[in-house]
């Protein structure tokens, strides 16, 4: 497959005790794109409507995050955002990339934000779409998030569970999601290693709230990384009020709320997402 004569390549990058499946396209300043944490999620399935546009301007890096897709499995339940951050910073090290823009949806947004807090010198700018870990300890989980966390519990994974989540909770208009997207996600969710150790679970034991909710991390107010937050006004997984919570605390945070849009802004509103993301990243490219 090619994108405007730019090759789309795929490989496994190994470092430390991890192996990360990476898809890459384009040239220029690197943009690391981190996917969400739903059952069967992977990098390219999350960003299928965005890579082509961004690769015209940047070197686009789309990994399957630790625990997902063709990458190594297992995520530290005591500090999942920190573990994912370490994995993605390690990936940048393995690629000899000192700094990058980081784009993250949902769980990927939480990972991206944790990267900026842990190693601000490595993250040139952030684009966060409905990120996890915002106000999560200040109210009960949304019905959409509960479905995510319980997918592998009870009767175990099923196509009915996944279809309900995607059509009724992930997007604003579930009728627009092709059947093949659901089928592919379902088949990927059946990976025996993932079933044995689901990467997205609730906290184990008494949680350290600071590690699960960025609004309780004092570093957030000192994070000067330029940040663009994109949130669907009808998000049923992570509450849109999280956008205002981030803008209130982060010194350089812009916020864009999309009407009639759910949790998957980059898929539901791809044209607008691509345009505003490219413009934002270009304005902050070194």
74-113 core/surface letters (b: 16 or more CB in 10 A; e: else):
ebbbebbbbbbbbbbbbbbeebebeebbbbbbbbbbbbbb
pLDDT in tens, 67-78: 999 999 999 988
- Answer yes or no: is pLDDT of 159 > 80: yes
Tell me the average pLDDT across 239-263.
97
Catalytic choice (35, 101, 263, 284): 263
Q: Is 263 a catalytic residue?
A: yes
Question: How does DSSP classify residue 240?
Answer: T
- Answer yes or no: is pLDDT of 123 > 80: yes
- Answer yes or no: is pLDDT of 261 > 60: yes
- Answer yes or no: is pLDDT of 66 > 80: yes
Task: Give the pLDDT of residue 205.
Answer: 61
- Answer yes or no: is pLDDT of 2 > 50: no
Task: Give the pLDDT of residue 7.
Answer: 85
Q: Could you tell me the pTM of the whole model? A: 0.95
Task: Give the pLDDT of residue 48.
Answer: 94
Task: Give the pLDDT of residue 214.
Answer: 96
Beta bridge partners of 23: 10, 62
Tokens of 261: 């849009």
Task: Give the pLDDT of residue 209.
Answer: 72
Q: How far apart are CA 61 and CA 72, in angstroms?
A: 17
For 221, phi and psi rounded to 5 degrees? -75, -15
């Amino acid at each position: 497959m090619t994108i405007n004569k730019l090759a789309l390549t795929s490989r496994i990058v190994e470092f430390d005790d991890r192996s990360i499946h990476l898809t890459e396209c384009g040239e220029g300043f690197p943009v690391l794109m981190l996917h969400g944490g739903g059952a069967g999620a992977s990098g390219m399935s999350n960003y299928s409507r965005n890579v082509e546009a961004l690769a015209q301007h940047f070197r686009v890096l789309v990994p399957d995050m630790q625990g997902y897709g063709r990458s190594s499995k297992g995520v530290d339940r005591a500090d999942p955002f920190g573990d994912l951050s370490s994995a993605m910073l390690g990936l940048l090290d393995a690629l000899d990339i000192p700094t990058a823009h980081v784009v993250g949806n949902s769980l990927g947004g939480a990972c991206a934000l944790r990267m900026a807090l842990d190693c601000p010198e490595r993250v040139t700018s952030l684009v966060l779409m409905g990120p996890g870990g915002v106000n999560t300890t200040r109210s009960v989980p949304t019905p959409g998030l509960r479905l995510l966390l319980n997918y592998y519990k009870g009767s175990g994974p099923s196509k009915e569970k996944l279809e309900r989540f995607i059509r009724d909770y992930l997007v604003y208009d579930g009728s627009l999601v092709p059947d093949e997207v659901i089928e592919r996600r379902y088949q990927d969710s059946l990976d025996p290693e993932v079933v044995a150790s689901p990467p997205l679970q609730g906290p184990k034991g008494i949680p350290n709230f600071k590690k699960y909710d960025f609004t309780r991390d004092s570093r957030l107010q000192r994070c000067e990384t330029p940040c663009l937050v994109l949130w669907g006004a009808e998000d049923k997984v992570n509450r849109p009020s999280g956008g205002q919570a981030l803008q209130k605390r982060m010194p350089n945070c812009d916020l864009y709320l999309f009407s009639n849009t759910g949790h998957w802004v980059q898929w539901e509103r791809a044209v607008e997402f691509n345009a505003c993301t490219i413009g934002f990243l270009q304005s902050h490219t070194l």
